Structure formats: C-alpha cells, structure tokens
Structure 1
Amino acid sequence: MTDARWNHNVEHYEVLLRALPPHCSRVLDVGCGDGLLTRAVAERGIPVVALDVDAGSVATTRAEVADLDDVEVVQGDVMDPDLDLGIFDAVLSVATLHHLPLEDGLRRMSELVAPGGVLGVVGIARSRSLWDLSHDAVGAVLARVRRRRRGWWEVTAPTRRPTTSYTRVLRVATLLLPGVRYRRHLLFRYSLVWTRPG
C-alpha cells in the first residue's frame, strides 16, 4: 500500500493482502469501517463487497471508494441470516471480530468463503498473560516510533474494547478452522489466515 495514512489497523493490511488467493475474483470486507482496506483490495483490480452495520462507516467507505469500479458498499450485519451475500474467494476483516460473538462470527465468516478461498482476520484481543503484557510493552514503544515517523490516521468507525483473550481466540479458531494460521503481532493485533479445503 502506498497510502500515507497509518494506524494500528492499516499496519496489518499487508498480512491480508498477501493472503489473497491467486484466483481471487471476489472479496468481502466485513466491518469495512473507513474503507481503507476495501480501497487497497479494489486497487488490485479485484471486485469487493464492503459490508458494515454502521451507517456512518458505510457513508465513509462510499466516499473513500467513489473513484473506483467494482466496489459495492452494503449496510448490513454479517450475522443476519437473511442477508444473502453469496460466497467469496476471500473474506477479510480488520478489528471487527471482537464486535461479534467469537464462535458465531468466525463460523459465519468461514461459511462465506468459497472452496479454495481464504478467510483473513486481523483482530484485537485482551491481554491477560505475562507474555501478552510484555508483547504489548514492546508494541507500545514501536507504536510511538511509527506515530512519529508516519503520523496517525484516526479511526472514524465505532470502536469497542475487546473482552476475549488472545489465548481464547487461538483456541476457538483452531477448533473451528482446522489448519488456521494464527500469529500474534506487535501493535496490539493478531491475525488468522485460513484456507477452505477444496
């Protein structure tokens, strides 16, 4: 990404962009927020459906991607069983899973992935262990350095503090998504990348 806007979420977009399958022809951005990830995917020439429950986020995303083709912005709740989204070669989500029930949210997003497709999540969890807290301390120092060098892009979407621990996220993801790749990142995030068999 060449966009100069930066925050803890933007820092991890490359994790998801690198996870896109080579045959990717349709992507769902769950909890599109300010539309920056939607833009990053669409600029690669991949059609995107950007989904958010928040009307303000939908309006912000529409403005962000107004100059791009093949982007559909939808206001809706990914957990709504009546919301017919179809299936996607990649389902991506940044800082959204902690707004949903963990098991149901992962299950629902995985159901939207086509065979051979990818579910990519960058999430936030609660630090509970000594390892988590030491990881956070290093992340806090790194964040200060990055903020000085790159500035800060304030998130406009509604935010919520996570209540689920990193350990629980890993445990649930491993149970629901066999073969999932979990990684704990600096700057207060984790990632899950899972490929649906087929």
Structure 2
Amino acid sequence: MRQIIYDKVKYIADKYKGYIDTEDLMKEGLTNRQIGLLTAEGKLEKVAHGHYWIISPEFSKPEDYKAVEVARVNRKAVICADSACYYMGLIDKEPEILSIATRRSDRHKMKMNFEVSRHYFSEQAFEDEKHVFDTKYGSYNVYGIDRSVCDCIRFREDIDKDIFELVIENYRKYDKKNEERLMAYAKAMRIGRQVERIGLDR
C-alpha cells in the first residue's frame, strides 16, 4: 500500500487511541479492502465483526480488555459468575474463559478473539444487581458478588475447578457478604439445597 495509507493509520491511531469500529474507519477514508490488508499486516487487530483495535507502540490494551470488547460487541451483555467474582474483587485470579450473561431473546453473535462461556437468562433474572464499570474505552456491566457466587454454583460444570474452589473459599471469608440476599438468589435459581450443602456461612 502507498505511504499515504500508513500515514492515515497513524493519524487514526493518534485520534482514537485504541478501539475503533468499521464505520469510523470508513469515515476516516479507509476502504474495506484497505482495512483487510492493514489487518493482515498487523496494523489493525480485528477483535470481533465490525470492531478493531489499533495497534500502536504508543499505547496498549487495558487490563480489562475482555470485558471492554464484549461490551463493544453487545452493550447489554453482563459479566457473570466466576468472571464477575474476579471483576468485583472477590478473587484475584482471572478465569481464562470469560463468563457472560445475555437475555434469552438476545440474538447478538458473540464471536470473540478469546473464549467466552455464554449463559442465557430470563428477563427478570437478567436485570438483577447489575453494576456499571465506566472506563475511557467504554462502559461494561458486571453482576454483584452475592448473585455471582450463586451463578458459580449453578454453572459449576462450566467453571474451572480451582477457580470454583477459590470463589467458595473467598466468599466464606468475605466480610461484606449478604447471606439473606445470597439465599434469595439461590431460591430463585432453585439451588438452595446446593448452597446449604456447600456451607457458605462458615
């Protein structure tokens, strides 16, 4: 490609400093063919359909890039279960697979550059106890700790065994846990007996 295209990419990188959508790349004067070539050359990283990260030595991805990128693809998705426990600070080890929740009626494709475990929730269950994390790259949603611990028990088969045990161990010691709220979620999810057997109130 001509040098003018690379100069344009540098200008875009300086302007956007991170994530950019196909629509904005084209507004800045790039064609679909040029976007494809720049991606092949490692100037752009395609994070999902229609979404890119501008590769530059002047900045790097944020630590919470997985949550940020999921939100850019589907702004209504919510980080849940073990991943929510990590983002909410209950555990300090990030799960390799990002757990996300969407409504059952949500038809957004969630094909990412990293592995995602997607869980579908009813309308009422989906709306409960969401927290919004605001960053310079955009905002994303995360479920609260009490609810997320219940989700971990509910989706236990989909969660790494060591991560699951860490969640349970840390929740038992968690000084801000709300056992009443925990059991309310457990009963709504029909896992009350499982929660009682695990003994989270120790």
TM-score by length of 2: 0.22
Q: Where is the helix percentage greater, Structure 1 or Structure 2?
A: 2
Structure scoring higher RCO (CA < 8 A, sep ≥ 6) equals 1
TM-score by length of 1: 0.23
